[in-house]
């Protein structure tokens, strides 16, 4: 699994922005971005990670991926809370190797059909 710095560097390079430009847009020193990318600094707080994501022009899904790479939670779990009983129940079933993979796949399809009512774009892209 890539470190936060490796993930940040890969995304930054893919977008085509320099460390200096990213640092300036996020309000930090360029040497800090360099140290992050080289693993010399731990991932920053979620607020700064989201500033990096904004500076990189990332969409919600890619922002969540960057936040998770830094040890944070995707925005939906941040809002809801990781201890929501429904989320825990779903995660328990989906992560249970005793539940056949075909049944876990069917559960994902059922959830996607239910969610489609409120987030059709998420289901179409997911």
Q: Where a domain ends, among 45, 62, 78?
A: 78
Q: What mean pLDDT do residues 12-31 have? A: 97
Domain match, 19 and 73 both: yes
Structure pTM?
A: 0.84
Q: What mean pLDDT do residues 77-85 have? A: 93
What pLDDT score does 121 carry? 82
Number of domain units in the chain: 2
The domain in which residue 11 lies consists of: 4-78
From CA 49, how far away is CA 37, in angstroms rounded? 13
Q: Are 41 and 32 in contact (CB under 8 A)?
A: yes
Residue with tokens 């920053």: 44
What pLDDT score does 111 carry? 94
Domain match, 97 and 59 both: no
Span 47-69, pLDDT tens digits: 999 999 999 999 999 999 999 99
CB atoms under 10 Å from CB of 70, counted, come to 22
For the CA atoms of 44, 45, 46, 51, what is the dihedral angle to 10 degrees?
-60
| Alpha-carbon separation of residue 103 from 10, 45, 75, 125 (angstroms) | 35, 38, 27, 22
């Amino acid at each position: 699994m890539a470190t936060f710095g490796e993930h940040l560097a890969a995304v930054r390079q893919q977008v085509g922005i320099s460390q200096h430009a990213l640092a300036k847009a996020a309000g930090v020193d360029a040497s800090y971005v360099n140290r992050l990318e080289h693993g010399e600094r731990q991932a920053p707080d979620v607020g700064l990670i989201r500033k990096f994501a904004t500076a990189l022009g990332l969409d919600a899904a890619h922002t969540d991926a960057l936040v998770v790479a830094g040890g944070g939670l995707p925005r939906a779990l941040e809002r809801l809370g990781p201890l929501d009983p429904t989320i825990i129940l779903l995660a328990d079933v989906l992560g249970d190797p005793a539940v056949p993979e075909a049944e876990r796949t069917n559960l994902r399809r059922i959830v996607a059909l239910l969610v489609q009512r409120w987030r059709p774009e998420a289901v179409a892209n997911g």
